[in-house]
Amino acid sequence: NFGGSVVLTGGIDFCSKPCSLSSGSSSVNAPPSLQEKCNDCNANSRLVITFREVDHVYLKETGLASYASYDEYGSAVVRTSAVRSFRSSAYLSRADMSQVKANSCWKE
């Protein structure tokens, strides 16, 4: 049975400048204001979003992106099951949408 609609907006902050991948040696002797900062986060993090038995799903300007050029890590996976329509105007980078299946799909 289908039921309802979902609109997802907003953004995800993925792992940026993880300490686990930081060498830390390049700015050790620099003044504090010039020392490179790192974050205690998991560089292999993955957000998985699954929509099941929903009439309509809309990813409205949803940010599911991480960019290597900004030293960001992490990824997203979007899955659907028994969805009638799927619409996306999302910002995607390192996002796996291959498991999105619906009776009709739109990408803006």
Q: What are phi and psi of 19, to 5 degrees?
A: -60, -30
pLDDT in the model for residue 87: 96
Cα–Cα distance for residue pair 70/52, rounded to 1 Å: 33
Each residue of 55-86: pLDDT tens digit?
Answer: 999 999 999 999 989 899 999 999 999 999 99
Residue 24: other Cβ atoms inside 10 A: 10
| pLDDT beyond 60 at 26 | no
What type of residue sits at position 39?
N
Average pLDDT, the chain: 89
